[in-house]
Amino acid sequence: MQQQSAIHAEEAKKIPFVGNKEPLSMLAAEYESGSPILLEKIKMLGQQYAAIRRTQGDGNCFFQSFMFSYLEHILGSQDRAEVDRIKGNVKECRKTLQSLGYADFSFEDFFGLFLEQLDIVLQGNEDSISLDELIIKSRDQSISNYVCKSSVEPMGEESDHVDIAALSDALGVPIRVVYLDRSFCDKGGVCVNHHDFVPTFGDHSNASSHSTEPIKPFITLLYRPGHYDILNPK
């Protein structure tokens, strides 16, 4: 098992922390000689999603995927109100950690870096960056691992349902996780299942929305057993 883990770790290093966009046909090619169920599900994904962006399978892939996808969304939308909102949540997280007895030095470096990333994806600032520059920064291990520390420690541990729900609640950001597995629908046949993690409070919670329409997350991650990647909608 140790040998297999070592081989897996070496293979993971060949993929950057955040990869380039790839068409879903590249994902389908991985399963050409495998399960027809997975191939059918990838075909169905192609109806809603244009591309996949892979992340390194180092145990931090969920956090890598989430944070890059969030920053890419802000870069594309230039939603300053959203940035102001999440900065307010970060402020509350600071207070919570202090009230729990954490020393400021244990989290201030992360918060400073995260806020800096938020500022530079907004255009019009002296140090604003482009998408290509964001990708380069996201491949920097020192920056990438600090960003991952926004959620749980230790590093290198796969995220589960509780971690995702906690992150969604803490930052107030809805997250959709699409599952690529061999499961069938409840009524039989092939379908792609997903789960939306919606904050239980705040501006992005169902409870605070005056609309009867469910909130649609702007971050979509693809989960294959043991790994998360980013899905880009059409």
Are 199 and 173 within 8 A, CB to CB?
A: yes
Structure tokens at 2: 């140790």
Are 114 and 83 within 8 A, CB to CB?
A: no
Choosing from 194, 195, 196, 203, the catalytic residue is 194
CA–CA dist 170, 86 (Å, integer):
9
Choosing from 61, 148, 204, 229, the catalytic residue is 61
To the nearest 10 degrees (0 to 180), the angle between helices 61-77 and 108-120 is 40
User: Mind giving me the DSSP string for 36-61?
Assistant: HHHHHHHHHHTTTEEEEEEE--SS-H
Are 114 and 150 within 8 A, CB to CB?
A: yes
Cis peptide before 154 (omega within 30 of 0): yes
The question of whether 58 is a catalytic residue gets the answer: yes
Choosing from 148, 204, 227, 229, the catalytic residue is 227
CA–CA dist 65, 116 (Å, integer):
18
Q: What angle do CA 148, 17, 168 make, to 5 degrees?
A: 35
To the nearest 10°, report the CA torsion of 84, 85, 86, 87.
40
Choosing from 58, 148, 204, 229, the catalytic residue is 58
Are 155 and 60 within 8 A, CB to CB?
A: yes
The question of whether 194 is a catalytic residue gets the answer: yes
Maximum CA pair distance of the chain?
55
The question of whether 61 is a catalytic residue gets the answer: yes
CA–CA dist 198, 234 (Å, integer):
22
As annotated, the active-site residues are: 58, 61, 194, 227
